[in-house]
Structure 1
Amino acid sequence: MRAVALLALAAATPATAQTIKPLAEARLRYEHAEQDGLPLDADAVTMRVRAGVEASTGGLSALVEAQGNLAIVGDYLDGLHGVQTRPLVADPQNVAIYRAQLRYARAGHSVTLGRQRIALDDERFVGNIPFRQNAQTFDAVRGEFSPMKGVRADFSYVWSVRTLWGIDGNGARQRAISGDTVLANLAWASPIGTLTGFGYWIDQDEAAVQGFRLSSRTLGVRLAGTRSISGVKLAYAASYARQVDHHRNPNDYQADYWTVDAALDLNGPRIGGGYEVFGAGDGRALTSFQTPLAANFKFNGWAEKFTIKPADGLRDLYAGAGWGWKAVGPLRAVTVSATWHRFESDRLIRHYGDEIDLLAQARIGRTTAAIRYADYRADRFATDTRKLWLQLDWTI
């Protein structure tokens, strides 16, 4: 990759660099999954390591970062190898260049060229998928500009999406998906919250990936803000978007999306909830509202039953509660939470199932430890599934 070679040369030239910053992080995770209808459970112990260097001078920086994922215990379906006798754990073994980018930043403006992370707003439509071991990056040029106070524009042209399937990706799970994708955000910090207009022209130009049917044009608007009232912090967000087919997509469809969300932080206790709707077309596969570039693990339940939205769309009613402490003994940033989801179809209003997600996490020094659990109880979609994660994250 020519860009990687140029970036490596820039990073290795100390005469032009005022600072050289090492990059290093590691994650050890155990994931257990039980899924009705499969004869065996999945047990995955994976170790993900990333290492690299960033060199900078003035507003110019060059960054190269490699990653590797090792399956220490590989009793799971990684999505690429073997037959489906165990549940899917989407963390195949991998060694690859994770990021390789040049960036220039000055006075509120920046341009980034190369393999990079792109996470827009809450990652509902475009994200890095940070939970999965291999994550997702973009070969792109991205410009971020602030033409006036309170206004920010963010534009990207993406020619390749580097997927979480890694270097062995193939078939419908390619290691990279090419295309001419354009991502555009224009945000204004209004008195009631950040108001963002967005447009995403997603070109999934690989026939093996759903026969081009994930190519779409999405236009929408989002409002997100916070308020403090007598020591209580209220966070709120609402969004609406419309999606239609784009470029080589053989489907002719249009579908709407909307969501409302609110949360109260009571200086320890936290409660919240929301409602999210992915509209359906006429019930054909992939004519409902889709989010192929999103950080999907964050939304619609950790059991990951709705990464691709069903043909009849999706309605997700959810509510959660938790508690946070700055410190408990030697532990820092301690959090416990529980979230309940009720899933229905948007078309014909059928009950898909319910899910409970539980989380406990804390930090000790540079290490964060987390325990997660997801329990999906199926009604008219998929099958009962239970998942458990034990995870340690360390960063330099």
Structure 2
Amino acid sequence: MANHLPTAAAAAAAFALASFPTSAAAETNGKVSDASTIQLKPILDARLRYETVDQGSLEADAITLRVRAGAEAKLDKFALLAEGEGTVAGLSDYNAFPFPLADEQRRPEFAVIADPQNVELNRLQLQYKSHEVTATVGRQRINLDDQRWVGSVGWRQNEQTFDAVRGEAKLGPVAIDLTYALSQRTIFGTDAGPRTSLDGHFIFAGVSSKLGPVQGKLFSYLLHYDKAFFLANSSQTYGGILSGTFPLGPRAKLSLRGSYARQSDYGNNPFDYAADYWSLEGTGAMAGFNLTAGWEMLGSDDEHALQTPMATLHKFNGWADLFLTTPPAGLKDAYVSIGKSFTGVKLLPGLNANLAFHQFDSAVGDVEYGTEWDASAGFKLGKIGLLLKYADYDSKGFGADTRKLWFQAEWVF
């Protein structure tokens, strides 16, 4: 499998999808309307977002529209999927590339909003799926567990995907998930130079099982990057997760989750290091409220900290995204949040609100990194989901105070 799927493959997939009989395109409630066993399902979604950033001496404003379009053709247990992705900016007073690059979207006079204008092949995959086995080959979306280690970075307009072969199998009570990837297709798109894709040899392996209400998983992630500027992110990580949900009454439940991992250098990483990862979280749910308290540590050996370069990082350590790269002294994040779903508001279906607080400190050296408040509210109007979101990071002298505001509308076909 080549590091980059060639244009010829994209053309072949598009031709194959277009060649299916048009009678197979009619689908009602998930069932094909004629005798054909071929099903053709369109893929179409759009997201319009306004984002503004106030970060000390830097500010930024962006209005971006992301559209994904494609189709999935199914024949018995096989499916061929092709999807393109495009992002345009109506207001581009922002720095799309937070790294040196000779490109007009690199605007260091503005704060970073990592949503470059871009048109690319997002996914092109062939999949076999039965009750016991799923095998996927090609450019694909991969979200593992809570996306702490591997994810699609779905918050940003351009998605992260992987050129990979993935196999999933169920063997009685045991589930096995194994992936070999050759390329990490980043959120920075086709104009990002060497950061368009990060090539190498990557293995994601997991074995999980469930006993009563408790789910357990062992995992390993072997990241061997090829590009010289990214070799310091080559690592081997081994760990496990335990989680479970326990009823507390007819309308209340408690969810608990704990994880530990050990990471060290791997491949051609020029640094010799080892660091621990810990995560503990509990969520109580009752009458539409969710109250969460958690603690996460990305450790350090005093010089080099644990990193998660393939993660959906916006989900962790505050929405202001100040800790996308773990500081050399590591990071401890103690957080609490409260969320509420308002099911009785007929004019605003799906109305929900969330409020969270984070206390950030170093893992070694007793350095206070600051605090952050995050808040969001969302609801749906028909098929359009609306979201208002805010992050306020107080640096306590570590970096710059940062405030970010988003308003977005998302439509899915």
| TM-score bracket for this pair, using the shorter chain length | over 0.9
Q: Deviations over 1:256-283 (max 9, x none)?
A: 0001001111121221110000101122
Matched, 1:88 2:83: no
Q: Hey, what does 1:309 align to over in structure 2? A: 326
Q: Alignment partner of 2:96: what SS?
A: coil
Q: Counterparts of 1:310-329 in structure 2 under 5 Å?
A: 310-329=327-346
Tell me how far apart the structure 2 counterparts of residues 374 and 45 of structure 1 sit (CA, whole Å): 18
CA distance in 2, matches of 1:266, 1:135: 34
273, 285, 291: which one aligns with 1:271: 291
Q: Which runs of 5+ in 1 are unaligned?
A: none
Cα 1:385–1:7 shift into 2, 3 Å: same
Q: Give deviations 1:41-65, integer Å, cap 9, x for gaps.
A: 2000000000001000100000000
Contact 1:3–1:114 (CA<8 Å) still a contact in 2?
no
Q: C-alpha separation between the residues in 2 aligned to 1:21 and 1:29?
A: 26
| Residue 157 (structure 1) aligned to one of 180, 193, 197 | 180
Distance 1:32 1:47 in 2: 15
- Match for 2:227 among 197, 200, 206? 206
CA distance in 2, matches of 1:6, 1:187: 37
Q: How far off is 1:365 after superposition? A: 1.7
Distance (whole Å) between structure 1 residues aligned to residue 169 and residue 61 of structure 2: 45
Contact 1:327 1:333 in 2 (8 A): no
Name the counterpart of 2:154.
130
Match of 2:28 in 1: none
Q: In structure 2, give the amino acid aligned to 1:312.
A: A
- Residue aligning to 1:100: 124
**1:377: how far off?**
0.2
> Residue 244 of structure 1 aligns with which residue?
264
- Residue of structure 1 equivalent to 2:242: 223
Q: Quick check: 1:68 aligned with 2:86?
A: yes
Match in the other structure for 1:52: 70
188-197 or 353-362, which moves further after superposition?
Answer: 188-197
CA change 1:141–1:6 in 2 (3 A) is farther
Counterpart residue identity of residue 180, structure 1? H
Residue 29 of structure 1 corresponds to 49
Matching residue of 2:218 = 197
The alignment partner of 2:391 has SS state of: strand
Residue of structure 2 in register with 1:183 after alignment: 204
Cα offsets for 1:139-179 (capped at 9, x unmatched): 0000010011x3211000000010000000125xx000100
CA contact (8 A) 2:235 2:264 kept: yes
Assess if the C-alpha contact under 8 Å between 1:7 and 1:102 holds in 2: no
Whether the aligned pair in 2 keeps the contact of 1:265 and 1:271 (CA below 8 Å) is yes
CA drift of 1:366 comes to 1.1
Q: Counterpart of 2:19?
A: 13
Moved over 4 A (4+): none
Q: Find the residue that maps to 1:331 and give its secondary structure.
A: coil
Map of 1:346 onto structure 2: 363
Q: Name whichever of 224-233 and 352-361 sits farther off.
A: 224-233
Contact 2:96 2:107 (8 Å CA) reproduced: no
TM-aligned CA distance change 1:6 to 1:187, over 3 Å:
farther
**Aligned partners of 1:9, 1:304: CA distance in 2, in Å?**
41
Q: Determine the C-alpha separation between the residues in 2 that align with 1:135 and 1:347.
A: 34
TM-score normalised to the size of structure 2?
0.91
SS in 2 for 1:167: coil
**Larger displacement relative to structure 2 (218-227 or 308-317):** 218-227
Q: How far, CA to CA, are the matches of 1:87 and 1:162 in structure 2?
A: 23
- List alignment gaps of at least 5 residues for structure 2: 1-5, 22-35
**Alignment of 1:168 onto 2:168:** no
Q: In 2, Cα distance between the equivalents of 1:152 and 1:364?
A: 38
CA contact (8 A) 2:295 2:334 kept: yes
Find the counterpart in structure 1 of residue 252 from structure 2.
Answer: 232
Letter in 2 for 1:152: A
- Aligned partners of 1:236 and 1:10: how far apart in 2? 46
Residues of 2 paired with 1:374 and 1:295: CA distance? 17
Letter in 2 for 1:377: D
Q: Name 2:32's counterpart in structure 1.
A: none
In 1, distance between residues paired with 2:246 and 2:225? 39
Cα distance, 1:17 vs structure 2:
5.9
User: Equivalent residue for 2:96?
Assistant: 78
Q: Following the alignment from structure 1 to structure 2, what is the Cα–Cα distance between the partners of residues 349 and 26?
A: 44
State the 1:235 CA deviation: 1.4
- Residue identity opposite 2:248 in structure 1: I
SS of 1:276 mapped into structure 2: strand
Is the Cα–Cα contact under 8 Å of residues 153 and 185 in structure 1 kept in the other structure? Answer: yes
Is the partner of 1:7 in helix, strand or coil?
helix
Aligned to 2:141: 117
Matched, 1:372 2:372: no
Task: Give the drift of 1:206.
Answer: 1.0
Number of aligned residue pairs = 386
User: Aligned to 1:326, what secondary structure does the other structure show?
Assistant: coil
Q: Is the 8 A contact 1:17 1:55 kept in 2?
A: no
Displacement, 1:208?
2.9
Q: State whether residues 352 and 378 of structure 2, in contact with CA within 8 Å, keep that contact through their aligned partners in structure 1.
A: yes
- Which residue does 2:31 correspond to in 1? none
- Cα deviations across residues 46-100 of structure 1 (Å, max 9, x unaligned)? 0000000100010000000001000110011111533422110000000001110
Counterpart mapping for 1:289-304 below 5 A? 289-304=306-321
1:213 match: secondary structure: helix
Residue deviations 1:173-199, cap 9 Å, x none?
A: x00010010000111012242101000
Q: Which amino acid aligns with 2:51?
A: E
Amino acid at match of 1:156: T
CA RMSD of aligned residues (A): 1.3
